[in-house]
Structures are given as structure tokens and as C-alpha cells.
Amino acid sequence: MIQTDFQELEERFGARNYHPLPVVLSRGSGVYVWDTEGRRYLDMMSAYSAVSHGHCHPRLVKALTEQAARLAVTSRAFYSDRLGPFLEEACKKTGMEQALPMNSGTEAVETALKAARKWAYTVKKVPEGRAEILACRGNFHGRSITVVGLSSEMQYRKGFGPFPDGLKVIPYGDPEALRHAITPQTAAFLVEPIQGEGGIILPPHGYLAQCAVICRQQNVLLIADEVQTGLGRTGDFLACQHEGIRPDGLILGKALGGGLLPVSLFLARREVMQVFGSGDHGSTFGGSPLAAAVGLEALRVIEDEHLVERSARLGRDFLAALEKLESPLIRAVRGRGLFVGIEVDPEYLGARTVCERLLEEGILTKETHRTVVRLAPPLVIEAAELDEAVIRIEKVFHTLGREARKVC
């Protein structure tokens, strides 16, 4: 079969909820993937940060296959010898006291919201049915009905209402907006330290620290969604740590599964987590021996291979090199660690056009919000590979800029 055959199969039998770039991938190793015709590409997207360890990391594949051959799924009806060590390591590394395992990031977000609401009723004594959740404009916390109800993106919302009550959206990066939005019924403030799908948006320095103070003063839970930004992506183990804060609740996912399977966690202070009783919440596959074995090894690889430090060091140089690019098509370059966005001028072109041209140059990435090219390579990438990526990115913008001048 040729590439177009595979594309046609997906389009015929699959729901069209994505708009993939025209390439059919068949294998990967480290920072590279290959299509069905054998062409190699540098992966500058990492499956939305899920492949931070690189494709098919040998230690993670070994942990996966050995555990799969031993015991994969039991459900949480029983204890396993894998889950406890995984949760202990996750709590130690994040400074949290307890963790609840799920599968996808969306599930972990839903878990956090359920915990926040029950905490509001049982601990804060908010009247039943009145608890409120605050989130920020431009957020992306998943695509469940509840989370879509917190979105400000019309495409995510249109056709899926009505949404649950008690959901409010406030401006991002504005601590005073948070202060004014809080009421006696407010249970939690859910926030991304850096907005990923929103366009790699960094809030003003000190924003999270101010929000932490406001939440503590008002007895509101601060819950950080670090599904994309956590586990070294931004040059610290958690993006929250850039401002030295420890949230009341923390959401991890994507890279926690080592690029091999979905693994997520909601972690929190003991007071928050203990609102759950037996039967209140669960998941058949969440916390399975297989997921726990891979998650534990993923955490150990991050430490053993110094991926956090690599992200900080290489990210600084990568961002500096991109900031030097001269093109009338580029509005801004922003990011932290190996989490970078190039905003293009929509007057000339859309970000998808840039991604399509990068594909032709052997670089894989994807646009977000139609105007931002996302660049988030595996954290195992080498400096020379990033240098080569900059050369190809510069070539694409130079070519597109020349074409834009001809049109004008």
C-alpha cells in the first residue's frame, strides 16, 4: 500500500475529528520518525509532549514488554506490586502527598474537578450544588463535556451544550481578575502555567505566585494543569517551580507514559485527596501494573538522563536562535525550555502553511490556533539536531517571505 491508501482508509472509516498533515508514519527512534516510504523526519512536536523521552526509548520499551509478559491489567479491585512504588516516586518528585492514577490527561482533569467540588462541600462547606470552578480564557484542559464548558474556543463548544453550571472563565495572566472572580462558592482555580494549545502563551512573571497567595487567602484550591508543561518540558521538573510555588493539586499526563501508553495522575495535598471514598471515583485501566511500571521508569529516565537540565540548557540556545530569525512573516517567538511557539502574521499566511513546508523539509510539527507553529521536540534531542532544525525553519520562512512579496 502507498501513503495515499492509508490516508484514504482513515478518512473512510475514521471520524474526521483531526486534520492531519499529509504524511503516514510507520516507525520511530529517538527524535526521528520514518514514513511508509522510508523518508526520515525530525520530530519537533513529540505528540503534544507525550514523547519527551524520544520514540521507543530502550529502557521504557524494556519496562513495558517485561511487565506486559508478567501482569498487565488487574483493575483496582486488588493491590499490585507496581502501583505503590510508582505513586511514591511521583509524590516525592512533585512534593505532593497523594496521587490518583488515571489514563488520559482529560481524565485526570475531570478527577481534579471532582475532587475540588467534593472538597468544597465537605471541607469548605459550600452549599450543595453551588461549587464554582474558575479557569482562564484561552485554556485547553481537554475535550470532555465539563472541560469544554470551561473553554473559550467556540469550535470546542459549538454543538456540545448545554454545559454544567458553576464554570467561569477569567482573563489569563491577570491576578486581579482572579481576585475579583472569587466568591464564597469558589472551589478551585484551574490554570496552565504556560498555555500550550492557546499558542505557547507565557503569563507575566510572578503571575502564578500571586495567584497562589490569592487562592490561599480566599481558601480556594490552586490546581495546576501540567499535562503538557510538566516533567521537564519547560526546563524545570514542573513549570510551577519556575516561580517556586507548590499548588494544592497537580495534573500530569502525556510524557508520564513514556510515549508508549496513556498514563496520567491527579496529585494533591492529603486534605484534598481524602475527600474520595471507596467507589467515589475510579478507572479500570488507571493505575494498572503496566501503566505503573512504565510511569515509574519514565520518571527515573528523566532523572538519570538529566532531561530537565537538557531542556533548560538546549531550550535557551534554541529560543535565542529562533529569535534571531528575520522574516516579515514572524510576529513573535516565545517559549521556555523546549516548549516554543513561532507566531506568524495571519495577514500573509496561516501557521498550517508553515507546517506543510516544514514537512517538505523533513521537520514534523503542527500549528495551534491557526497562527502559531509549535516546536516541542523530545527532550533527548542533541544541540546539533536543534541547529539543523533552525536552518530548515529559516529556509522555510525565507522562501515563504519571498513568495509573499511576489503576491504583494
- The answer to whether residue 387 is catalytic is no
Other C-beta atoms within 10 Å of 83: how many? 22
Element (H, E) at 76: none
Note the residue count of the chain. Answer: 408
Rounded distance, CA 58 to CA 208, Å?
37
Given 118, 237, 254, 318, which residue is catalytic? 254
Residues 6+ positions from 220 with CB-CB distance below 8 Å: 134, 182, 186, 187, 188, 189, 214
CA angle 42, 48, 50 (to 5 degrees): 90
The residue among 227, 228, 194, 197 whose CA lies nearest residue 208 is 194
Rounded distance, CA 72 to CA 64, Å?
9
Other C-beta atoms within 10 Å of 8: how many? 12
The one-letter code for the residue type at 121 is Y
Element (H, E) at 93: helix 83-94
Given 86, 140, 318, 397, which residue is catalytic? 140
Name the grid cell of 311.
531542556
Given 43, 174, 225, 248, which residue is catalytic? 225
- The answer to whether residue 140 is catalytic is yes
- The three-state secondary structure class of 167 is strand
360 Ramachandran zone, left/alpha/beta (phi>0; psi -120 to 50): alpha
Q: What is the CA radius of gyration of the chain?
A: 21
Cis, peptide link before residue 378, omega less than 30° from 0: no
- The answer to whether residue 317 is catalytic is no
Residues that are catalytic: 140, 225, 254
